[in-house]
Chains A and B, each alone.
Chain A
Amino acid sequence: MKRSGLSAFRPQLARLERRLFLKQGLSLGALSLLSGCTLKDDDAVDRLLFAMSRFNDKMQAALFDPAKLAPTYAEGDVTAPFPFNAYYEEKDVPRIDGESYRLRLSGLIADKRPWSLNELRALPQARQITRLVCVEGWSAIGKWRGVALREFLERIGADLTARYVGFKCADKYYSSIDMASALHPQTLLALDFADAKYGYPLRLRIPTKLGFKNPKFIHEMFVANDYPGGYWEDKGYNWFSGS
């Protein structure tokens, strides 16, 4: 399914991945234990790891049950304070003016009219208390409220047969998810959460994926068939990263 979309990006991706695995890749100590090969030879190893990560994308997509709901928790289980996590420090979070904010839409969407916060708030709101699991291993339970992404995609006339939904953020972060996960009932465009630093005014909340697949400070959403990648995904994290 994702193959043709990926293939367009594969040379760039492969180059990037290889460079990263090479540069920061194997620690020398562990590598020399491993059949005594040198750093120069690990190109084949990198290609194998990259191929296995794409295989794991497919296996996870197959394992994904669109009807299976993430466990929900009680109000009292919410982690406070919720841990801040981004590729930059907390003091560098973007400050966005809610009045002039517009969510831009692009790609395979019929009605690309931008949305203001008031318009988004006028749509039916869903809420959830779920566990956010970080790729680093830690987890925290949080509370989110916003528009079900499925409902929004239907309303704007998005091509629901397309492969990817992508997000571009005010902090230069970007990420993308598969359409099946985008249509999951717990996937939210969240407007309300603990604090502005967690993504004001709009973030994705998707409890069926790892934390880094929940982009914050979203200012553009698009629907595409070409593999859009993501900030961490392009650096080597597994793209699907389903929970």
Chain B
Amino acid sequence: MADAAGATTPRAIHPLFVRVTHWVNAFAIFVMVLSGWRIYNASPLFGFEFPPGFTLGGWLAGALAWHFAAMWLLAINGVAYVAYGIVSGHFRRNFLPISLSRALDDVALASRGQLDHAPGRYNAAQRLLYVGVILAAIVAILSGLAIWKPVQLQGLTAVMGGYEAARRVHFFAMAAIVAFLVVHIGLAVMVKGVLAPMFTGRAEVQR
């Protein structure tokens, strides 16, 4: 907390647990997406392939090895983050309430440069996007399990609409996550003073 006199005293805004799980997740998602693109290229679902230079693994076996190694990191880290979010009240405090109309208002304000970014407080658009990408990640994990184990986890595969449908669900969950990342990383780089606190946890108090 900044006291009245020390206007430049850093203020804690991101808890350590959130920062650590965020960066572990960033690494896991990076590996999952790039190795996943190489796996996709082995049997493309749609009329295109991902540029090999933007994939991980070199060939199908290498990509699968990365994918099935990083999945444990993604899953364990994800479970820890969600458990923390629920138990600590992080989700309740920072994600709720979620409102589409308020999110759109904030996007409109931001596009006119009128949205004040209060460090440590998610605006309505952030809330919607963060909850959205968590749901997309859950769908990606469940559809991934359905593809990996269509016999042992056949109930889950059936929920996804069968093996072939699960491949498509998995693809679109990935696409949603990547679309989120384009916006998320773009804003993190463009908006002043939001990237450093994700490492340090502390925001420089402005003015």
Q: List residues of A whose CB falls within 8 A of some B CB.
A: 20-21, 24-30, 33-34, 48-50, 52-53, 56, 63-65, 68-71, 131, 133-139, 207-208, 232, 235-238, 242-243
Contact = CB atoms under 8 A, between A and B. Distances in A.
Interface stretch (B37-45, B106-114, B180-188): B37-45
A68 to B, nearest CB: 6
Nearest to A21: B62
Contacts of B150: 71, 131, 133, 243
Interface residues of B, number: 33
Of A20, A50, A70, A71, which is in contact with the most chain B CB atoms at under 10 Å from its CB? A71
A149 B72 CA distance: 34
Contacts of A20: 61-62
A65 B149 CA distance: 11
A137 B30 CA distance: 21
B163 A133 contact: yes
Contacts of B30: 33-34
B152 A243 contact: yes
Contacts of A238: 64-65, 68
Given A26-B56, A52-B69, A136 B62 contact: no
B203 interface: no
Nearest to A48: B69
A137 B39 contact: yes
A203 to B, nearest CB: 19
Contact of B58 (A26, A50, A53): A26
A232 B56 contact: no
B59 interface: yes
Of A24, A48, A235, which is in contact with the most chain B CB atoms at under 10 Å from its CB? A24
Contact of A207 (B65, B66, B151, B167): B151
Where chain B touches its partner, the secondary structure class is: helix
A55 to B, nearest CB: 8
A64 B30 CA distance: 29
B53 interface: yes
B69 A49 contact: yes
B194 interface: no
Contacts of B167: 137
B62 A135 contact: no
Contacts of A30: 34, 53-56
B164 A135 contact: no
Given A131-B150, A134-B43, A243-B149, A53 B163 contact: no
20 contacts: A20-B61, A20-B62, A25-B57, A49-B62, A49-B66, A52-B72, A53-B69, A63-B152, A64-B152, A71-B150, A71-B151, A134-B43, A135-B60, A136-B43, A137-B39, A137-B167, A138-B43, A139-B163, A236-B62, A236-B65
B201 to A, nearest CB: 22
A124 to B, nearest CB: 24
Given A29-B54, A139-B164, A237 B154 contact: no
B97 interface: no
A21 B40 contact: no
B89 interface: no
A199 to B, nearest CB: 21
A207 B34 CA distance: 29
Nearest to A26: B58
Contacts of B58: 21, 24-27
B151 to A, nearest CB: 4
Interface in B144-167: 147, 149-152, 154, 163-164, 167
B52 interface: yes
B68 A25 contact: no
A137 B43 contact: yes
B64 A135 contact: yes
Given A30-B54, A131-B150, A237-B61, 17 more contacts: A21-B62, A21-B65, A27-B52, A34-B56, A49-B65, A49-B69, A68-B152, A134-B43, A136-B60, A139-B163, A232-B61, A236-B61, A236-B62, A237-B60, A242-B151, A243-B150, A243-B151
A242 B62 contact: no
Contacts of B53: 27-30
